[in-house]
Amino acid sequence: MRNPIRNLVSDEAFTVLRANRLIDEKQLRDYHIRSIFKNAREQKLSAADAIEFVQREYPYLQFDTIRKIVYKK
């Protein structure tokens, strides 16, 4: 996985944190999903199309699962 939090943590620090299991992988995935969704919406995609766009990168997740992730507070 690339470093989806590059704006917060350097690639080197991310690699060390991940190697030492100091990153919650599920939360990291959800953060990445929310950022993909946000970018898709900024490109004027409908919410359903943006979720389908996310689903291309995470095909193992169902539409409703992604919807819950992106709308979770």
- Tens digit of pLDDT for each residue in 3-59? 989 999 999 999 999 999 999 999 999 999 999 999 999 999 999 999 999 999 999
41 within a domain of the structure (yes/no)? yes
Structural domain boundaries, residue 37: 24-71
Domain count, the chain: 1
User: Given a cut of 90, is residue 73 above it in pLDDT?
Assistant: no
Non-local (6+) Cβ contacts of 50 within 8 A are 37, 40, 41, 70
**pTM: predicted TM-score of the whole model, two decimal places:** 0.87
Q: Does 5 reside within a domain?
A: no
Find the helix packing angle between 47-57 and 25-42, rounded to 10°: 140
For residue 19, being part of any structural domain is answered with no
Distance CA 40, CA 33 (A): 11
